Amino acid sequence: MLSIHEKLKLYEVLPYLSLPSNKGNGNINLWDYKQRKNLVLFFHHGFKCPRCSSKLVEIASAYPQIQAEEAEVLAISFDSLKDAEGFSEKMRVQFPLLSDTKNGDSAAFTYVDEAKKGLYPSLFITDRFSALRYQKIVEEADRLPPVKEIVDWLELFQLECPECSHL
């Protein structure tokens, strides 16, 4: 098994990331969420990867719970916006799917899996101040934590800062 080291430091502010979204509203910039939303970032091999697709569907099924914790999910891959739109419609994914077709911005967060021509499946969870609170980079998406654990992290952030819930 490959040992994959974390690229970011816990409690530091996320690097800048601005990518086009399947939602048709131009680029999504992570910093636009600062002081407004907790974030769940899921980098993945792409929509043709069955394990990544399964993880996307799992996250999509819990999206209302995630939103209830004042959080947003952003999924990032090298796939085109057209592929993202097709996947979103077919699988009824409500959160934004971002496209890093230039293979650039994502490198600040995770590694490129040359064999699969995609990003290593990675999960990052931040608080509403864009401070990284959790990260995991793995070989396959089925090695990422279950959605219950993601929701638990988000609930913890809300408990730590109840006065922030009105922002």
Within 8 A by CB and 6+ apart from 45, the residues are: 51, 52, 77, 113, 116, 118, 119, 120, 121, 141
- State pLDDT tens for residues 40-62: 999 999 999 999 999 999 999 99
pLDDT of res. 83: 96
What count of residues does the chain have? 167
Buried b (16+ CB within 10 A) or exposed e, 45-64: bbbebebbbebbeebbebbe
How much is the pTM?
Answer: 0.93
- As a whole number, the mean pLDDT across the chain is 91
Is 133 in contact with 124 (CB distance < 8 Å)? no
**Residue 149, domain member (yes or no):** yes
Question: In terms of DSSP bridges, do strands 27-29 and 18-20 run parallel, antiparallel, or are they unpaired?
Answer: antiparallel
Q: Which residues pair with 137 in a beta bridge?
A: 122
Q: How many domains does the chain have?
A: 1
- Mean pLDDT per 10-residue section of the chain, whose length is 167 residues: 76 93 89 92 96 98 96 96 96 96 85 89 95 95 97 92 54
pLDDT of res. 166: 44
Q: Which domain holds residue 94?
A: 35-166
| CATH number of the domain residue 131 falls in | 3.40.30.10
